[in-house]
Amino acid sequence: MMAPIAIDGHGDDAELGTSSVDLIDKTKQQKKEDGRQRALDIAMAKQKMSNNDSGGSQNGTDVKNSRHGARNQHRHKHFARWILDRFPHVLEDCTSNGGDLSNEAEHAATRKPVQMHILDVAGGKGELSARLSLCHSLHVIMIDPRPADVESVYMNSVVPKLPKIWQQSIKEQLNNSPSFVQDELEKRFIQLVMPFLSPSCMETSTNQLEPCFQDKRVDASVRNASLIIGLHADGATEAIVDAALLYQKPFVVVPCCVFPNLFSDRYITVPNKEKASESNDNNAKRIPVRSHDQFCTYLLAKDSRFVMEILPFEGRNVAIWWDGK
C-alpha cells in the first residue's frame, strides 16, 4: 500500500494533488482486479487444454501420466476430503464465529473467546490451506517459514481442478466483486511466517498455563487448534506429534523426508535376527532411524493410541494420526 502523500498549498493546487493521488490509487486497484481476472481465465484455459490432451497419447504414453509428479498432483484434494471424513468435528469447531482469528495470541492471554481452527504446519505454498479455507469454509492458521501467496495458489492450482459449475460460480462472484477471494481469505485464513519447533516443555498435561513455545502466537495457535495437520512437513513432523501430545490435540502427519543426520537421536527397537533363538530379553536391538518406514514406526511408537493408515493418493501416503481421545 502506498504511503500517504503530503500536499502543500491551498485552493486549486491542493484539490488537483488530491485528485491525482485518487487517480493513481484507482488505476492500481483496477490493474490488480484485471490481473485476478486474467489469472482465472488463464487457469481455466490451461485446464481445458489439459482435459483435451488427456484423451490422447504421445509415443504410446499417456500424456497426463508422463508429467513429472503427476501421479500425486491431487494429494491435497484427497487429503482434505480424508481429513473431513476422519475428523468430522472440525466442521463444527472451525466454521463457528467464536472469535477473531487474527488475534489468537491476544485472546489467549486475556481469556477472550477464540476462534477454533485447523493448524496447518509447514503448509508450503498453501494449497491445502486454500482448499480447507476457501472450498470448505474452515478457519485455518498456517505456519511456514516462507510467506505463501494463497490467493494465487487457489486461483492457479485449486480452481482449475474444481468442477466446472464451481469454476463458473467463482468467475461470476469475481465479476461482481473482484476482491472476493481476498475477502474470503481475510475472514478465515492467516499465516504465521516462522518455523515450527518442538515445544520446550514435554510433559503431557491438559492444564498448561505457561506457554511451551517461545512465540506466543505459535503457542496460542496450538492451544486453540481443533486439529493439527502436517502433510509432508519435513523437519516439523515430529514437532507436530510432540505438540499434539502435550496439548492433547487431534492430529495427523504424513511423513516425507527423514533427515537422519539432522535428527540423529531417533532410535527404534527391532527384532535381532542374529539372536532369534535366544530369550526375549536379548531378541531385540536398537537401531537409528534412517528410512521412511523406520520414521513412521518411530512416530507410531510414541503413544499406543496412535493409528497408522494408508491415504488414498500415491507417493508418500502413510499417515500417523490420533483423534485426541
The 3 state secondary structure assigned to the chain is CCCCCCCCCCCHHHHHHHHHHHHHHHHHHHHHHHHHHHHHHHHHHHHHHHHHHCCCEECCEEHHHHCCCHHHCCHHHHHHHHHHHHCCHHHHHCCCCCCCHHHHHHHHHHCCCCCCEEEEECCCCCHHHHHHHHHCCCCEEEEECCCCCHHHHHHHHHHHHCCHHHHHHHHHHHHHCCCHHHHHHHHHEEEEECCCCCCCCCCCCCCCCCCCCCCHHHHHHHHCEEEEEEECCHHHHHHHHHHHHHHCCCEEEECCCCCCCCCCCCEEEEECHHHCCCCHHHCEEEEECCCHHHHHHHHHCCCCCCEEEECCCCCCCEEEEECCC
> Which of 67-76, 283-292, 305-314 is the least confident region?
67-76
Averaged pLDDT for residues 182-187: 93
Averaged pLDDT for residues 173-183: 94
At 170, the pLDDT band (50, 70, 90 cuts) reads very high
Segment of 3-7, 9-13, 126-130 carrying the highest mean pLDDT: 126-130
At 115, the pLDDT band (50, 70, 90 cuts) reads confident
User: Which cell numbers in the block locate residue 118?
Assistant: 485447523
> Which of 64-68, 93-97, 275-279 is the least confident region?
64-68
* Mean predicted lDDT score pLDDT of the chain: 79
pLDDT in tens, 28-76: 666 666 666 666 666 556 555 544 444 443 333 333 333 344 456 789 9
Residue pair 232/246 in contact (Cβ under 8 Å)? The answer is no
Averaged pLDDT for residues 7-15: 41
Partners of 271 in the beta sheet?
A: 284
At 97, the pLDDT band (50, 70, 90 cuts) reads low
Q: Give the closest residue to 123 by CA, choosing from 249, 251, 234, 221.
A: 234
pLDDT exceeds cutoff 70 at 3: no
pLDDT exceeds cutoff 90 at 306: yes
Residue pair 246/225 in contact (Cβ under 8 Å)? The answer is no
pLDDT in tens, 200-235: 776 554 455 567 888 889 999 999 999 999 999 999
> Which of 38-47, 82-91, 182-191, 231-240 is the least confident region?
38-47
Give me the pLDDT at residue 214, please. Answer: 80
Domains of the chain, each with CATH number or no CATH = 74-149+187-322 (3.40.50)
How would you label 97-117 residue by residue, b for 16+ Cβ within 10 Å and e otherwise?
A: eebebebbbebbeeeeebbbb
CA distance 184 to 48: 26
Give me the pLDDT at residue 199, please. Answer: 85
Give me the pLDDT at residue 198, please. Answer: 85
Give me the pLDDT at residue 277, please. Answer: 56
At 300, the pLDDT band (50, 70, 90 cuts) reads very high
